[in-house]
Structure 1
Amino acid sequence: MKISHLCFVFFSLVLAGCSSSSTSLTYYVLHSPNAKVSKHNQPTQKVALQQLVLPDYLQQRSLTMLTGPATVYVSNQHVWAEPLDKSFVQALNGALLSDKNIEIIPPHRHAKQSSVAKLYVKIDDFIASSDGIVLLKGQFWLDGKGKSEKIQYFDFRRPMQGDGFEQAVVTMRQLVSDLATAISDEV
């Protein structure tokens, strides 16, 4: 009797596990894979991205939303498809190249080109808020090519045109373009 009772409990648990639905994930990329690259635009200037620093809450896969003055919601269903630091560099390079004809080159290529300015970017906040505003705050500085290490602070904010994480990511792309404009003004 005990064995049949244990078998019944075991099979009940197996069936219960099979009947529950798994949570589906939605993946996002910050850079725009659909953006076309113009073969005719050759970069007129280059910068070497030496460092990109992200806050800890952006160094994990989940998308986040500011839900209060000091609370951050971390989504389990909405995640970045690739590390945000990699996608941020791709988005920034795309915005600089398409809008400003400036190319970000890897630091190891910079050693061969001494006339290239070094770019440092520190992100303090890059988050959507529950009131429909997305913000990108931090600082950047350029070194080399006649530039002194003057820190440029930025605080870009844009309203989302709709609700949800997808719209937040679209707005984040626009904020990266705002940062690209600020960087290009200093190059």
Structure 2
Amino acid sequence: MKAITIFLCLLLLGCTSEPLNVRYYLLHTPLNTVNPLSDKTKPVAVLQPLKIADYLRQSSLVLQVDDHELHFSRQDVWAETLQSAFYNALLQDLNSTGQRNYLTSSAPEATVATMAIQVQLDHFHATDTSKVVSSGRYWLTANHANVSSNKMLATSAHSFYFESELTQDGYSHGVKQLRKLIGKLANQIEKDIAAVPNS
């Protein structure tokens, strides 16, 4: 009987412990400047909806702790879906290059696009070796005017892999470094589009 009483007391103490302190992280934050209306003289490119790996579809931030093992944080989570946040951040970074008007596929001006971009994100996380990594593939599809009914033709496929060192502890620093990797991807996409004939 004494053992049961001690067990119940321990159980009640466990129920009164502090709740999990959840921290939410934003990957995409708005700029503090208002962008002017799109420059009509620039070519239009459309960023198609992002495809992401299945393990990135949940809200927890991910830490790779071994070659084949991932840790999903229960208290460090994305404030919005990674698919949406990454897409919005990439669209913002592409438009900051100033070479083209990058739009969503639902934008009215998307019908006059000369280029479409499809991105597949395979990895986007921190590692236990003090790095953040981002990798995947993207496809550039050019709209050739000489093709009947404005059919879009695939022109090139590209792989990407970016990493950055972590100089501080904590997920907050990791998220800042991950955000910088999106800018590197935007720069690579822009260079590859510029290399496509008649882009």
> What TM-score bracket applies, with the shorter chain setting the length?
0.7 to 0.9
- TM-score, normalised to structure 2, is 0.78
Instruction: Report if aligned partners of 2:121, 2:135 keep a CA contact under 8 Å in 1.
Output: yes
1:107 Cα offset (Å): 1.6
The alignment-based identity, stated in percent, is 28
Which residue pairs with 1:36 in the alignment?
32
CA distance in 2, matches of 1:150, 1:125: 21
Instruction: Report if aligned partners of 2:131, 2:165 keep a CA contact under 8 Å in 1.
Output: yes
- 3-state SS of paired residue (1:151): strand
- TM-score, normalised to structure 1, is 0.82
1:185 pairs with 2:181: no
1:13 Cα offset (Å): 9.2
1:151 pairs with 2:152: no
- 3-state SS of paired residue (2:143): coil
Distance 1:99 1:32, change over 3 A: farther
CA distance in 2, matches of 1:163, 1:99: 31
Unaligned runs of 5+ in 2: 145-152, 194-199
Q: Deviations over 1:3-54 (max 9, x none)?
A: xxxxx9xx97996476321011000011134x32353474534322223111
- 3-state SS of paired residue (1:175): helix
Instruction: Report if aligned partners of 2:166, 2:174 keep a CA contact under 8 Å in 1.
Output: yes
Unaligned runs of 5+ in 1: 1-7
- 3-state SS of paired residue (1:24): coil
What is the RMSD computed on CA atoms of the aligned residues?
Answer: 2.6
CA distance in 1, matches of 2:38, 2:106: 21
Which residue pairs with 2:117 in the alignment?
119
CA distance in 2, matches of 1:61, 1:71: 18
Instruction: Report if aligned partners of 1:48, 1:110 keep a CA contact under 8 Å in 2.
Output: no
Q: Deviations over 1:40-88 (max 9, x none)?
A: 4745343222231111111000000011111101000000000111101
Which residue pairs with 1:23 in the alignment?
20
How many aligned positions are there? 178
